[in-house]
């Protein structure tokens, strides 16, 4: 069911972002220069509440912090970059593994290209459909504490690490607070593939999950339309 929902979101994004009328005597393409007009830029800090390590244990839920920036075209379509990193502590029990016989923490982050389509962006309330495509890294490690009173440590003892590929489609309800600031609240699904971790069973599934997202967008959003706001 999750895969079907994700495919539907991707299909809607592609159809909405690239559907346009072309003269019958011209070759049809996804993007044409004469129809692509610059209309704004933005930067957006973002907080993601998500499930890590399949939600098992008391620390199965956590937060990722990050953000993105982008360029807006035609007041609807944006292209940019985004990145996120895990900020909460998540423990994996490796005491049954004779090679380690200890607990380990999960380090996790990812980023990449972000495409987003905005529906009725000139309205005070509207929807956006973002898709992130990129890569990231995951590691299992332990802090080597030297002085617990002063919170100093020497280094990390990394047990293993791996790179991975990620696709994260989502949908947001967006509110125009002012002409230069917007608030987003929505959900996305993070799909991780090609991670290879010996000590983290089914690592692709452990790192793939639903996220609830909140962000603020700051920037120039429309050069051609009158934007309605809550004020």
Taking the model in full, what pTM does it have?
0.78
Query: Which run of H or of E encompasses 156?
Result: strand 152-178
Q: CA Rg, the chain, in Å?
A: 21
Give, in order, the Cα–Cα distances in Å from 150 to each of 146, 147, 224: 9, 6, 55
Task: Please choose, from the candidates 49, 119, 47, the residue with its C-alpha nearest in 3D space to the C-alpha of residue 82.
Answer: 47
Of the segments 7-21, 55-69, 157-171, 213-227, which one has the largest average pLDDT value? Answer: 157-171
Question: Is the separation of the CB atoms in 171 and 187 below 8 Å?
Answer: yes
Question: Could you give the CA distance from residue 97 to residue 49 in angstroms, rounded to a whole number?
Answer: 30
Question: What is the architecture of the domain spanning 2-12+37-220?
Answer: Beta Barrel (2.40)
User: Rounded to the nearest 10 degrees, how much is the dihedral formed by the CA atoms of 133, 139, 144, 148?
Assistant: 50
Domain boundaries, the chain: 2-12+37-220
SS (H, E, C) 72-113: EECCCEEEEEEEEEECCCCEEEECCCCCCCEEEEEEEEEEEE
pLDDT tens digits along 57-111? 556 789 999 999 999 999 899 999 999 999 998 888 887 777 776 788 899 999 9
The pLDDT of residue 4 is above 50: no
pLDDT at 209: 93
pLDDT tens digits along 168-217? 999 999 999 998 999 999 999 999 999 999 888 788 998 999 999 999 99
Average pLDDT, the chain: 82
């Amino acid at each position: 069911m999750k895969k079907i929902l994700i495919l539907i979101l991707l299909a809607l994004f592609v159809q909405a972002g690239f559907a346009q009328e072309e003269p019958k005597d011209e070759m049809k393409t996804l993007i044409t220069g004469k129809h692509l007009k610059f209309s704004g830029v933005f930067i957006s800090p973002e907080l993601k509440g998500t499930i890590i390590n399949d939600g098992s244990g008391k620390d199965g839920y956590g937060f990722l912090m990050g953000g993105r920036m982008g360029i807006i075209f035609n007041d609807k379509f944006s292209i940019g970059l985004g990145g996120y990193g895990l900020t909460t502590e998540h423990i994996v029990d490796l005491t049954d593994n004779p090679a380690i016989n200890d607990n380990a923490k999960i380090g996790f982050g990812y980023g990449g290209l972000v495409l987003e389509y905005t529906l009725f962006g000139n309205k005070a309330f509207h929807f956006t459909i973002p898709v992130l495509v990129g890569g990231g890294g995951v590691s299992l490690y332990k802090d080597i504490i030297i002085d617990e009173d002063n919170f100093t440590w020497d280094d990390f003892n990394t047990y293993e690490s791996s790179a991975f590929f990620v696709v994260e489609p989502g949908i947001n309800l967006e509110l125009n607070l002012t002409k230069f600031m917007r608030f987003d609240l929505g959900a996305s699904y993070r799909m991780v593939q090609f991670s290879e971790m010996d000590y983290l069973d089914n690592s692709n599934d452990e790192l793939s999950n639903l996220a609830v997202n909140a962000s603020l967008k700051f920037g120039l959003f429309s050069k051609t339309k009158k934007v309605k706001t809550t004020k």
